[in-house]
A and B are shown apart, each in its own frame.
Chain A
Amino acid sequence: MIKKILFWLVTLLVLFIVIVPLLWIYLTAFKSQTDIFSTNLRSMVIFKPTLQNFRALFGDYPFWPNLLNTAIVSVLGTVVTMAVSLLAAYSFARWNTGGGDLLFMTVSTRMFPMAVAAIPHFIFFKILGLLDTHFGLMLLYVFFNMSFATFLLYGFFNEVPKEVEQAAMIDGYGRMEIFRKIVFPLIKPGLAVTSVFCLIWMWNEFFFAFLFTRSQARTVNVLISSFWGGLQVQYGLMAGGAAITIMPTLLAAWFMQRYIIRGLTFGAVKG
């Protein structure tokens, strides 16, 4: 009994800590400028809600086109990243290709400070004419995420015992078939986790989106963060934009975590 109480106490505490800042975002999205800066605690929760932030967001700024850009770049980017990383991770996990060094080199792509890498990339993109294009940004995102995705998938692949594959090979299955029919289903939870993290990273990326896009391929995060630093810091618009931008990723994450549950049944088959 005590165990149960403890369980729920901890769980609720964690949820509380997690939710409160996000609740603040959603509350602020509906507040007027003066309410946001009030020092009165009551007016923090009890205030006159207004839709002016959203109206301004949709009317004065290209919010929806920017959100679409984010969606295009993130989704395509995730698909391509997963394709590249899945193959590579399998190669590393099954054959230890390159003796660990190649894997390490892949992982090290994120070890370089972004700010310094930005300038050579910018020149490179300018020469190729990829500035302010969806394709260019997507390519960049794939590069930044493939290290992480490969490494994570490598870890998940390692959980699949070699014997299972070897047994199938003895039974006469070809390499690609083994991969498709046996290995792939077993790492589905891992795949789900990795792709969602990739999607989220790309969805929320700011620095390169800011530098490499102007108006065509501008992502929604650049728009939202631009509400800071103007002569009037517009927390209302920021919160409003953030409130909406979170939702697609929330949906994706929701599906992902349910997939882990489904993965349970596959794990049972393994035994």
Chain B
Amino acid sequence: MSSQPLPRKPTIWETLTNEKNFKWTLLIPLLLLLAIFMLYPLLYSFYFSFHDWGMQGAPTFSGLNNFRQLVNDRGFLLAFGRTLEVLVICIAVEILLGLALAMMWNREFPGQNVVRGLALLPLLVAPLILSLLWNFMMDFDFGMFNQILQAVGLRKVYWWAPKMALYTICAITIWQWLPFSVFVLLAGLKGLPKDVFEAAKVDGARGWYTFRRLTLPMLTPLIMIIIVLRSMWLIRLFDPLFGTTRGGVNTELLDWITYRTAFVMFDIGYGSAMAIVSWAFTMILCMLMFRQLMKALKPKE
């Protein structure tokens, strides 16, 4: 091959796909969307958290007033605490149950397509609509659950009693999202290299040992990803409340109080302050979990 006397200027495509730039080229669409859709609302809310605005007229500057109010807002702090409680309960149940079910169903068995297909159903219905229907199903007088209880001779349960309502909300969320962890873990289990397990079996390793030493470590990254994602969503939990308690009976969560401040009362300044605080909290929490995840992935490299 003869080389040219002058080096040819590389085409745009070649520049983008050379060794150094390729990884950044892959990110261009993502970064573009991030810049447009994330930066603007963030800056907007940041601005308004230092002002008072009710959607009309000009916003009035109020400095740190909104944040000061937030710290003393009993309702907000209670909502915060409840959100954490929901977070811990739901994640614990979803991971444990999810793992158990994924391991159980990670085999060939008759009717496996039907079972796995049906198990996915809770995720398929719109969460909001589901909450409207759950509200009716769990109604004290007309709901299906209480009618079944009465039919077998038990007393009716008030599923939305002030002491119990939060756990009912947890149950609804877990019901809907368990398939998520089951299927992500199932996909993960199927992606594990079979040879390692075969070797272990030949060496005489037994079920629990294989699980603890082989399966779990290899699944850890995926489990952590599930935890990060679900935490992010659970802190934002909103849909089950919309059609049922609407924040009443001791179930007001973080996103609900933010929603009704910003979107029902349209107290934009205060609502933005709430949003910034809960966003910051989510960031910090997920960042910590994220660091763990990165550490868990490091040995692979």
Direct contact of A and B (CB under 8 A): yes
Listed by A's residue number, 30 A-B pairs whose Cβ atoms lie within 8 Å are A21-B134, A28-B133, A84-B29, A84-B30, A87-B26, A91-B22, A97-B24, A104-B286, A107-B290, A112-B279, A113-B254, A113-B262, A117-B41, A120-B41, A120-B44, A148-B229, A192-B187, A193-B184, A200-B124, A221-B126, A225-B128, A235-B136, A242-B129, A246-B121, A246-B125, A249-B124, A257-B117, A258-B113, A267-B191, A268-B194
Would A151 and B228 be within 8 Å (CB), given that A162-B301, A193-B183, A193-B184 are in contact?
yes
Task: Contact check, A116 vs B175: say whether CB atoms are below 8 A apart.
Answer: no
User: Is the CB–CB distance between B232 and A21 below 8 Å?
Assistant: no
Are A176's CB and B236's CB within 8 A?
Answer: no
As a 0/1 sequence over residues 242 to 265 of chain A, the CB contacts with chain B under 8 angstroms (1 = contact) are 100110011001101110110110
Q: Mark B225-262, 1 if CB is under 8 A from A, else 0.
A: 10011001101101100010000000000110011001
Residue of A nearest to B301 (CB): A162
Which of the residues A83, A108, A114, A221 comes within 8 Å of B286, measured between beta carbons?
A: A108
Instruction: List, in ascending order, chain A residues with CB within 8 A of B41's CB.
Output: 112, 116-117, 120-121
Q: Which of B147, B187, B194, B287 touches A193 (beta carbons < 8 Å)?
A: B187
Given the known inter-chain contacts A21-B137, A146-B30, please indicate yes or no for A115 contacting B258, CB distance below 8 A: yes
Q: Is the CB of B119 within 8 A of A100?
A: no
Of the 9-residue stretches A50-58, A59-67, A152-160, which lies at the interface with chain B?
A152-160
- Given A11-B115, A24-B137, A143-B33, are A107 and B27 neighbors across the interface (CB < 8 Å)? no
Nearest residue in B to A118 (C-beta to C-beta)? B263
Name the CB-closest residue of A to B224: A155
**Interface size counted on chain A using CB atoms at 8 A:** 106
A residues within 8 A CB of B262?
A: 113, 115-116, 119
> How far is A203 from B129 in the complex, measured between Cα atoms in Å?
12
B124 touching A253 by the CB < 8 A rule? yes
Complex: A118 Cα to B194 Cα, angstroms: 47
A110 at the interface (CB under 8 A from B): yes
Residue in A closest to B112 when the chains form the complex, CB atoms: A261
With A206-B128, A257-B116 as given contacts, are A271 and B193 in contact (CB-CB < 8 Å)? yes
**Which of B45, B125, B142, B222 sits near A155, CB closer than 8 Å?**
B222
Beyond the given A116-B262, A159-B191, could you list 6 further A-B residue pairs with CB under 8 A, ordered by the A residue number?
Answer: A7-B104, A22-B122, A28-B133, A119-B262, A150-B30, A152-B225
Least Cβ distance of A5 to chain B in Å?
Answer: 13
A72 sits at the interface (CB 8 A): no
The 0/1 profile, CB within 8 Å of A marked 1, for residues 175-212 of chain B is 10000100110111011111100000000000000000
Cβ-based interface call for A88 (8 A): yes
Q: Tell whether, in the assembled complex, residue A110 and residue B236 are in contact, meaning their CB atoms are under 8 Å apart.
A: yes
How many chain B residues sit at the interface, stated as a range, is: 35 or more
Asked whether any CB of chain A lies closer than 8 Å to the CB of B77, the reply is: no
Contact A267 B271 (CB under 8 A): no
Question: Across the interface, which residues of A come within 8 angstroms of B123, CB to CB?
Answer: 197, 200, 253
- Interface status of B68 (Cβ within 8 A of chain A): no
User: Are B129 and A107 neighbours in the complex by a CB distance under 8 Å?
Assistant: no
Residue numbers in A under 8 Å from B259 (CB-CB): 113, 115
A46 is an interface residue with CB less than 8 A from chain B: no
CB-CB nearest in chain A for B258: A113
Residues of chain A within 8 A (CB-CB) of B118 are: 15, 18-19
Residue of A nearest to B264 (CB): A115
By beta carbon, the residue of chain A nearest B32 is A84
Known: A109-B37, A112-B279, A193-B184. A224 touches B129 (CB 8 A): yes
The CA of A238 and the CA of B126, in the complex, are separated in Å by 11
User: Are A142's CB and B191's CB within 8 A?
Assistant: no
B272 part of interface (Cβ distance < 8 Å): yes
Contact (Cβ within 8 A) B144 A44: yes
**B157 adjacent to chain A (CB < 8 Å):** no
- CB of A91 within 8 A of CB of B232, answer no
